[in-house]
Amino acid sequence: MLYVKRDAWGNLQRVESAAFEGMDGELAADDQAAQEWLTQQNAEQSLIQLKQSDLDMIRVLDDLITVLISKGVVRITDLPEAAQMKLVGRSRARHALGGLNQLVGEDESGLI
């Protein structure tokens, strides 16, 4: 049994396996509309996780490029001008925040 809340037009707004405050109906566990709603919610959650992963990877790539430049493996001038401008802008922003050292520690348990 699934417990649901619908909007004024009858569209599912929430589907839970346990009763919850504000629910206004019940559906069988194999109800097609409920299964479609749950699939949609799973897809949206996956997209949110992917977006967060993208943000995390941007930081990794930013740090990697900084290391490669500092070790002389690549020069910033080897990169396209647009990339150079973005890297310089990020570098300035990170420097203005103290290199983000206060925000993120080695164990990634900082404020962000």
One pLDDT digit (tens) per residue for the chain, 112 residues: 999 999 999 999 999 999 999 999 999 999 999 999 899 999 999 999 999 999 899 889 988 998 999 999 999 999 999 999 999 998 888 888 875 554 444 454 443 4
* 29 bridge partner residues: none
Cα–Cα–Cα angle for 49, 52, 57, nearest 5°?
125
Total count of domains within the chain: 1
- Which residue range forms the structural domain that includes residue 79? 51-99
Exposed (0-12), middle (13-18) or buried (19+): which is 38, by Cβ within 10 Å?
Answer: middle
Residue 18 lies in a domain: no
Residue 17 lies in a domain: no
Question: For residues 71 and 73, what is the distance between their CA atoms, to the nearest angstrom?
Answer: 6
Residue type, 12: L
**pTM above 0.95?**
no
Residue 31 lies in a domain: no
Predicted confidence at residue 94, as pLDDT, reads: 82
